[in-house]
Amino acid sequence: MKVLTPTVLTYIKVVLLVALVPAIVGFVVVLAERRFMGFMQVRLGPNRVGPKGTLQGLADLVKLVTKEDVTPARAEGAVHFLAPVLSVIPALTALAVIPFGPSLQLARNVSTPLYVADVNIGLLFLLAITSIGVYGIILGGWASNNKYSLLGGLRSAAQLISYEVPMGLALVSVLLMTRSLSLVEIVQRQERIHLWFVFPGLLAFFLYFVSGVAETNRNPFDLPEAESELVSGFNTEYSGVKFAFFFLGEYTAMIIISCVAVTVFFGGWLAPFPNTPAFAFLKVVPPFAWFVLKAGFFVFLYIWFRSTFPRYRFDQLMALGWKWMIPAGLLNIVVVAFAILATPGRTTGMVILAWIFGVVFVLMFLLARLRQALTRRDRLAAEHADPAAAR
């Protein structure tokens, strides 16, 4: 048992993470996306390779690897080669600090936490490392010697940099609640105060997730790619393994955004209501499974968005980011800071905030429903007012 020293365990975890995540991305997420979208779009999705199409990922991989790797004439060769690498490596690196679970008992005396490193500036590290991934897209677009790719690269430069700001602001308000940047500490604190941060940080969560979707170039913010406008934008000139790398980078980034959403706002590996005895039976499911379930839900949200929303236009995207999300993020910080500082104890303010946000959310939901019903009624009335409309 002397072999499994913490250092060795860390190496094992790193290798597993780097090897497993691409596999998960390749097989599960892509297949799930295609099948779910197929379901939502009244078609089947891939169902031919392997039982129920489960091996589709493998087939895609084989296809991409065996494809010819084209570098366009007069492209910046070195940059063109490096760009996909630049989009994958940061995404995989960021996975290192995500706590998938508390600790795992491997043998009698050997246990290891389910994360590679508990960096005490974990959140900052995540923001820093994921924003490097942007360079891959910008440089890839620029180096391709294609005007559409260039436009895609430019769009991503503006978009990704603008949406870093509201994302950072949303996470700052969580920092005010935890007073720690360590992701493990953030989860543990949610356990201690009996409250997921999504409740006092409801606005922060929305801001975070919307900017997260924008950060990962997914619908409705997939402007750098925008197949119908820019013919796939930055990755037009990429094929084979290089394209696979961009693909992997995008999907890994999606998983990271989901994982961080779970860790920061939804109690990470904790079961729902961890301190309520009535819900103790929920602990039967291991913490890691809870984490995967929650993260899977967010990945599903991504897929759901993709099949529901049209795409924003570039100027509208910028307006949304700078005119709405950043002011809202700043306001949220003030509100959260006030709630925490002005109330006695460290949790009272958060509970009050949770109630306020909850009520506002429910009210807005009901208002939206009402408005929907009213417009529908108006439309029906307009149709019936026209006497000939009836059969």
Residues that bind another protein (CB under 8 A): 37, 40-43, 147-148, 151, 154-155, 219-220, 222-223, 226-231, 306-316, 372, 375, 383, 386, 388-389, 391
7 vs 228 by CB, closer to another protein: 228
82: helix, strand or coil = helix
Q: How far is the CB of 386 from another protein (least distance, A)?
A: 6
103 vs 308 by CB, closer to another protein: 308
283 vs 377 by CB, closer to another protein: 377
Q: How far is the CB of 60 from another protein (least distance, A)?
A: 19
Q: How far is the CB of 149 from another protein (least distance, A)?
A: 12
Name the residue among 92, 21, 23, 17 with its Cα closest to residue 60. 23
Q: How far is the CB of 319 from another protein (least distance, A)?
A: 10
Q: How far is the CB of 90 from another protein (least distance, A)?
A: 27
Is residue 208 within 8 A of residue 330, CB to CB? The reply is no
101 vs 233 by CB, closer to another protein: 233
Instruction: Compute how many other C-beta atoms are within 10 angstroms of the C-beta atom of residue 114.
Output: 16
292 vs 317 by CB, closer to another protein: 317
Q: How far is the CB of 44 from another protein (least distance, A)?
A: 11
52 vs 313 by CB, closer to another protein: 313
Name the residue among 116, 96, 341, 326 with its Cα closest to residue 210. 326
Token look-up 């597993």 returns 16
Task: List the structure tokens of 55.
Answer: 């091996």
Q: How far is the CB of 379 from another protein (least distance, A)?
A: 8
179 vs 371 by CB, closer to another protein: 371
Is residue 174 within 8 A of residue 201, CB to CB? The reply is yes
297: helix, strand or coil = helix
Sign of CA dihedral 333, 334, 338, 341: positive
Q: What is the DSSP string of 94-157?
A: HGGG----S-EE-SSS-EE-SSS---TTHHHHHHHHHHHHHHHHHHHHHHT--HHHHHHHHHHH
118 vs 227 by CB, closer to another protein: 227
**Count of all residues that appear for the chain in the document:** 391
Q: How far is the CB of 38 from another protein (least distance, A)?
A: 9
Rounded to the nearest 10 degrees, the angle between the axes of helix 183-192 and helix 240-265 is 30
Token look-up 């201690």 returns 192
